Amino acid sequence: MERTVRFLLNGEVSQATLPSGLAVLDLLRRERRLPGTREGCREGDCGACLVLLGEPQGAEVRYRPVNSCLLPLGELEGRHLVTIEGLNPPSAPGPAPALNPIQESFVLEGATQCGFCTPGFIVALTGYFLGNASPDPESAEDAVAGNLCRCTGYASIRRAIARLLEQHRALPAGPALERCVGWGIVQPWMREAPARLKAMGPAAPAPASAAGAAGPGATAVPVLVAGGTDLFVQRPESLEDAPLVFLSEQDLGRTWVRDGRRYLGAMLPMEDLCGVPPFADYLSCVASGPVRHRATVGGNLVNASPIGDFTIMLLALGAVLGIRGPAAAGIAALRELPLRDFYRGYKKLDLAEGEVVEWVAFAEPGDAGFHFEKVGRRRHLDIASVNAAVFLRLDGGRIQEARLAAGGVAPMPLLLARASEALRGCQIDPQALPQTLRRALGLAQEESVPISDVRGSASYKRRLLKHLLVAAFLRLQPREIPEETALALLDGPTAGGPA
C-alpha cells in the first residue's frame, strides 16, 4: 500500500510516495542512489546498513542508530534520516576526500580493509557520541556490537575507538549535539533539524481500519507494526504492499511509576530500559544496540516466542498487561491480565481481534532479589537455547515470594508455578534452602517439556534449565548456596534424560 511520507534526508526535506512497507535500505540505494548504506544480511545482524533515525523530543531531536533493512518507509514520517553521506564533511580541493574525525581515526589505526562494513561502524559511533554525555570504553564498544567485520579484525577498531574517546575528553563542555558539531563528526545543518521537523507539521494519523489503511473497498486486515525487528525478517516481501498501521504513531513509548508500580509503554524501545531496574544489567545479553533501539517491549511480548528474553524477565517479576479493546460507545475498554495467563500455547495469545497491548506493569522490585541467566551459541546478541529468571522477596529470614520463569523448555514462555510455590516460606539458612531448592529443581524439571531442535536436544535443555536456576541462586544467595553446594545440587538424574 502506497503512502506519501515526508521527512528530512540528511540536510534536505524529502518526500516519497511508495509502499509504506518498503525497506528504507531499498529507498536509499534504489530510489535515492545513496550507496554508502550497504546491503548485507537483511536481518539486522551485520550492521552494514546502519542509519541514524532522528525523532523529535521536545525542543531536540533524539538520534538512534538503526538497521535500515528492518526499517519500513512508513516510519520516516516527520523524522530525520541521516546516512553516511550526510556525515561526510564537505569535499576539500585536492585528490583525497575530506574525512571527519571518526573516519580519520579508522584510517590512522588501520581499522578498514575492504571497507564494506566501515560506513556502518562510522554511523554506529556517531549515534553513540550524539547520545552519550560521558562516553567510556565499555559502552563505546557495545555501541558497535551489532557491526560485523570479516577481514580487518577488531583490535584495530578498538584502537580507533580509544583514539576517539581521547579526543572526546578534550572537547569543551556543552550539549552533545554542539560538542559533536564542534568536533566535526556531524555537520552544522544538524542544528536546524528540530525547527525544520516542526515546520513540517504533525504526522498523518495512522489508519484505524483495514478500509482506511488500504483504501475504499479494501478487505485486507491491517498489520500492526511495533518495532518490526522480527516481522521484517520473517515476512519482508508480503509486508511491502500490505496495509500497515504503525503503533509508533501512538503515545505508548514511555515509562512511568504509579502507586508502587512500574509501567512500561508497549512501544518503549528496549534500549530505553537501560535506566530501569532490573533490566539494565542484562541488556548486553539481549540483541545489539541497533536492534534494541527498534525492538519494543510490547512487540517482544506479543511475538510470543518461547525464548523471548524480556518476556521471561517480566514473568518472573509478576507482570500484568494493560490490554485496550475497540472503542465501544465512545469508551475504549481496558482490561488487566496477568502475563502468565496471556499465553495459551505456541504463538497463541489471549488477545481478541481489535485488542492491543497498551502497557505492561510490575511492582517495583525494591530490595527484592532478581537474576536472569541465558545460554545460547554466543554469549551476546544471540537467541537463547534456554533462559531463566528468578525473583525472590525475603522477609524475616524466609522466602515470602518466589517466581521462577524459563524459556526454551515449553511451547510458550513458562512460569514454573509449582517450583515457585515450593520455595515459598522456606527458611533462608545453609541447611534448609539447599534441600528445598533441590525439590524445586525437580518440580521445574517436571513442569518443563522441551523439544529437540537446532538449539539443542531436549535432555540438554533440561540440564541447562537446572544449571541456570542453580546459577541464579548462587548469585542471589551466595552464603546459603556456595559453589560447592551448587555443584552438589547439579548431581543426580535430570528428568526426562540421562544423569
pLDDT in tens, 32-73: 999 999 999 999 999 999 999 999 998 999 999 999 999 999
Residue 427 lies in a domain: yes
The arithmetic mean of pLDDT across residues 106-116, rounded, is 93
- Tell whether 344 and 449 lie within a shared domain: no
Q: Where does residue 459 fall: left (phi above 0), alpha (psi -120 to 50 degrees), or beta otherwise?
A: alpha
Instruction: Give the Cα separation of 69 and 493 in Å (integer).
Output: 46
Residue 229 lies in a domain: no
Question: Tens of pLDDT along 381-439?
Answer: 778 999 999 999 999 999 999 999 999 999 999 999 999 999 999 999 999 999 999 99
pLDDT confidence band for 377 (50 / 70 / 90): confident
Helix (H) or strand (E) holding 312: helix 309-316
Give the three cell numbers for residue 484.
Answer: 560447592
Residues in Cβ contact with 81 at an 8 Å cutoff, skipping those fewer than 6 apart = 7, 8, 9, 10, 14, 24, 51, 52, 53, 54
Transcribe 314-356 into DSSP letters. HHHTT-EEEEEEEEETTEEEEEEEEGGGTEEETTEES--TT-E
What pLDDT is stored for residue 208 in this prediction? Answer: 45
Residue, of 130 and 378, whose pLDDT is higher: 130
What is the residue whose three cell numbers read 523448555?
409
Question: Average per-residue pLDDT in the chain?
Answer: 91
Distance of CA 337 to the CA centre of its chain: 23
Please provide residue 209's backbone torsions phi and psi, each rounded to the nearest 5 degrees. -150, 175
Residue 153 lies in a domain: yes
What pLDDT is stored for residue 494 in this prediction? Answer: 56
Q: Where does residue 408 fall: left (phi above 0), alpha (psi -120 to 50 degrees), or beta otherwise?
A: left
Cα angle: 487, vertex 407, 349; to 5 degrees:
160
Sign (positive/negative) of CA torsion 277, 274, 473, 385?
positive
In single-letter form, the type of residue at position 374 comes to: K
How far apart, in Å, are the Cα atoms of 373 and each of 281, 313, 468? 11, 10, 6
The closest alpha carbon to 394, from 363, 423, 364, 361, belongs to 423
The closest alpha carbon to 356, from 255, 242, 258, 250, belongs to 250
What pLDDT is stored for residue 354 in this prediction? Answer: 86
Residues in Cβ contact with 20 at an 8 Å cutoff, skipping those fewer than 6 apart = 1, 2, 3, 5, 72, 73, 74, 244, 246
Give the three cell numbers for residue 360.
Answer: 505492561
pLDDT confidence band for 493 (50 / 70 / 90): low
Asked whether the predicted pLDDT for residue 497 surpasses 60, the reply is no
- Tell whether 381 and 326 lie within a shared domain: no
Pairing of strands 223-225, 244-246: parallel
- Tell whether 341 and 295 lie within a shared domain: yes
- Tell whether 483 and 375 lie within a shared domain: yes
In single-letter form, the type of residue at position 63 comes to: Y
Please provide residue 8's backbone torsions phi and psi, each rounded to the nearest 5 degrees. -95, 130
Contact 248, 254 (CB under 8 A): no
The closest alpha carbon to 123, from 144, 149, 154, belongs to 144
Q: How many residues does the chain have?
A: 499
In single-letter form, the type of residue at position 254 comes to: R
Three-state DSSP at 12 gives strand
Question: Tens of pLDDT along 453-490?
Answer: 988 999 999 999 999 999 999 999 999 999 999 999 99
Residue 24 lies in a domain: no
- Tell whether 348 and 439 lie within a shared domain: no
Residue 138 lies in a domain: yes
In single-letter form, the type of residue at position 81 comes to: L
Cα angle: 314, vertex 317, 321; to 5 degrees:
55
**Of the residues 343, 363, 383, which one is the last residue of a structural domain?**
363
pLDDT confidence band for 187 (50 / 70 / 90): very high
Instruction: Give the Cα separation of 430 and 439 in Å (integer).
Output: 15
Three-state DSSP at 89 gives coil
- Tell whether 382 and 357 lie within a shared domain: no
- Tell whether 319 and 375 lie within a shared domain: no
CATH of the domain at 484: 3.30.390.50
pLDDT confidence band for 209 (50 / 70 / 90): very low
Residue 41 lies in a domain: no
The closest alpha carbon to 109, from 50, 182, 36, 166, belongs to 166
What pLDDT is stored for residue 491 in this prediction? Answer: 82
Give the three cell numbers for residue 84.
Answer: 553516511
What pLDDT is stored for residue 328 in this prediction? Answer: 64
What is the residue whose three cell numbers read 555501541?
143
What is the residue whose three cell numbers read 536456576?
469
The arithmetic mean of pLDDT across residues 151-180, rounded, is 94
CATH of the domain at 318: 3.30.465.10
How many domains does the structure of the chain reveal? 3
The closest alpha carbon to 105, from 121, 127, 84, 90, belongs to 121
30 CB neighbour count, 10 Å cutoff: 12
Asked whether the predicted pLDDT for residue 206 surpasses 70, the reply is no
- Tell whether 293 and 309 lie within a shared domain: yes
Contact 425, 444 (CB under 8 A): no
Give the three cell numbers for residue 180.
Answer: 559533536
What pLDDT is stored for residue 226 in this prediction? Answer: 92
Helix pair angle (118-131, 154-169), 10° resolution = 30
- Tell whether 358 and 377 lie within a shared domain: no
- Tell whether 358 and 375 lie within a shared domain: no
Give the three cell numbers for residue 227.
Answer: 518495532
- Tell whether 376 and 355 lie within a shared domain: no
Please provide residue 346's backbone torsions phi and psi, each rounded to the nearest 5 degrees. -65, 115
Helix (H) or strand (E) holding 165: helix 154-169
Residue 182 lies in a domain: yes
Cis peptide before 222 (omega within 30 of 0): no
What is the residue whose three cell numbers read 469508551?
331
CA gyration radius, the chain: 24
Owning domain of residue 169: 101-186
- Tell whether 359 and 376 lie within a shared domain: no
Contact 207, 243 (CB under 8 A): yes
Question: Tens of pLDDT along 213-246?
Answer: 444 445 567 899 999 999 999 988 889 888 999 9
CATH of the domain at 113: 1.10.150.120
pLDDT confidence band for 95 (50 / 70 / 90): low
**Of the residues 186, 201, 219, which one is the last residue of a structural domain?**
186
**Of the residues 169, 186, 203, which one is the last residue of a structural domain?**
186
Residue 464 lies in a domain: yes
